Amino acid sequence: MTAVVAIITGIMLIIGALFALIASIGLLRLKDVYMRTHAASKAGTLGSGLMLLALALYAGDASVVTRAIAGVVFFLLTAPIAAHLLAKAAYEAGYQPCADTKIDALKETLPRKS
């Protein structure tokens, strides 16, 4: 039983770490701040959430489990808000979306400072 738990924990840790790695590769490779936010807010959240759940599974102690799950819940609550505020602040500060951007519905409504 402990072996099974250890194997599952290991797999979850590796997948979580891979997603965290992908999030950081995304930060390097994508073209503008909005696309980078996509990578950080999604792959990053899933990666850290998986690793926290692995901890909850491995610890088997109610106090650690509740805290790990609370951590996951707060990740899910805060990551989208942070991403949204970053994107909004970047747009209002006049940061142009990259040249590939096809449509920009916000252009008419928000006066840019640039």
Rounded-to-integer distance, Cα 48 and Cα 62, Å? 20
Q: What are 66's two structure tokens? A: 């509740």
Binding flags for another protein, 48-77, as an x/- string (CB under 8 A): --------------xx--x---------xx
Rounded-to-integer distance, Cα 53 and Cα 69, Å? 7
Rounded-to-integer distance, Cα 19 and Cα 26, Å? 10
User: What is the distance of C-alpha 74 from the center of its chain?
Assistant: 12
In the complex, least distance from residue 91 CB atom to another protein, rounded to whole angstroms: 6
- Among the candidate windows 1-9, 52-60, 95-103, which touches another protein by CB under 8 A? 95-103
Length of the chain: 114
Q: What are 88's two structure tokens? A: 């909004």
Binding flags for another protein, 13-52, as an x/- string (CB under 8 A): ------x--xx-xx--xxxx-xx-xxx-xxx-xxx-----
Which residues are at the interface with another protein (CB under 8 A)?
Answer: 19, 22-23, 25-26, 29-32, 34-35, 37-39, 41-43, 45-47, 62-63, 66, 76-77, 79-81, 83-84, 87-88, 91, 97-98, 100-107, 109-110
